[in-house]
Amino acid sequence: MSDFTRPGILPCQAIDALIANGAISAATPFETDQVQPASLDLRLGARAWRVRASFLPGRHTVRERIASVAMHEVDLTRSAVLERGCVYIAELQERLKLPPGVSARANPKSSTGRVDVFVRLLTDRGNRFDDVDAGYDGPIYMEIAPQTFSVLVRTGTRLNQLRLKAGAPERLRVESVGVDLTGEIAGFRGRRHAGLVDLDKEDGHDPRDFWEPLHPKDGQLLLDPGEFYILASKGAVEIPVMEAAEMTPIDPSVGEFRVHYAGFFDPGFGTDEAHGKGSKGVLEVRSHETPFILEDGQTVARLVYEPLTEKPERLYGDLGSHYQRQGLKLSKHFKVWGE
């Protein structure tokens, strides 16, 4: 029996229990690899809408707000191109009926963040992106805003993930994350006028068509405003099996840039127990209004660790992962650089 009374992040077996008792349901059967060690992958539904502006529902349902801002409807059952620079709202297949005391938070999947697709979860009458109130009963939607590349998606594409939480832990552990600007290639910058990225096609794109390798000089890298960069953490990242972590995306105290769109790290990432010792964190970085010089080892983000309510029955990588034992690595959509 899973414990929903102890404060902390719910592990996979507790998520399975929520699915079994109908607290999480879906329009189609759940897939075997959808439940991760401490999160649930969410899937696009049948429809999306191109909207003229982002919004928060506030006093309204999401569908009520869509009716006032939609430009046209997009059929996702036949695959669809979501254009760079545009904003879309999509139905998700999953629906929530959370127990009292159980809340949720969403984040882009790693592969989504690494191609600079900005996604956020919406709930009916919600006043915050990505956060789901305890006891929420209703549909969930996703805002999708491709920033660098236009993307091809379809019903079933997984762009974000949901983390379930019981109560609130008394204390959170925080670590600083530095950036690694050494090596022959220390990062990549997205090409502005590249082709289309199929978000369900693995190892199917030539990275040279989409990315420019970066060769920092004297351990420094100049970030140009509005450009998108893939970099790596200076040190290895290790998430103990009884904790999950989130990398804070914006921290003005460390510089005028955003780091890590996709912030969830599941238990077992980078650990010996899950055969991932030495894994680095990959950083999605975008500078804001002014150019900014990064230096090797400079702190660029914070990792916030939260306890789990119980040990997960599966660890990160048990269902297969492209990112366990990673160094500097592009998303799974691209072939390995130089091959």
214-233 pLDDT, tens digit per residue, is: 999 899 999 999 899 999 99
Please name the residues in contact with 29: beta carbons below 8 A apart, sequence gap of 6 or more: none
Q: Tell me what pLDDT residue 98 has.
A: 97
Residue pair 319/40 in contact (Cβ under 8 Å)? The answer is no
Give domain limits for the chain: 8-166, 173-307
| pTM for the full predicted model | 0.94
- Chain-centroid distance, C-alpha 119: 8
Per-residue pLDDT tens over the stretch 98-147: 999 999 999 999 999 999 999 999 999 999 999 999 999 999 999 999 99
- CATH topology agreement for domains 8-166 and 173-307: yes
CB atoms near residue 180 (< 10 Å) = 21
- Percent composition of the chain: helix, strand, coil (DSSP 3-state, to 5): 10, 45, 50
Tokens standing for residue 155: 């019903």
Spell 140-164 as b/e; 16+ CB within 10 A means b. bbbbbbbebbbbebbbebbbbbbbb
**Which residues have CB under 8 Å from 33's CB, separation 6+?**
41, 319, 320
Q: Phi and psi at residue 113, in whole multiples of 5°?
A: -60, -35
Looking at residue 11, its pLDDT comes to 97
Architecture of domain 8-166: Distorted Sandwich (2.70)
Nearest to 159 by CA among 255, 4, 48, 305: 48
pLDDT given for residue 256 in this prediction: 66
Residue 318, pLDDT > 80, answer no
Residue 164 corresponds to which amino acid? Answer: L
pLDDT tens per residue, range 245-276: 998 765 666 666 777 666 799 999 988 888 78
pLDDT in tens, 148-172: 999 999 999 999 999 999 998 777 8
For residues 73 and 120, the answer to whether their CB atoms sit within 8 Å is no
Name the strand (E) or helix (H) holding 110: helix 110-113
Which amino acid makes up residue 279? Answer: S
Strands 151-153 and 197-198: parallel
pLDDT reported for residue 317? 78
Which homologous superfamily is 173-307 in?
Deoxyuridine triphosphatase (dUTPase) (2.70.40.10)
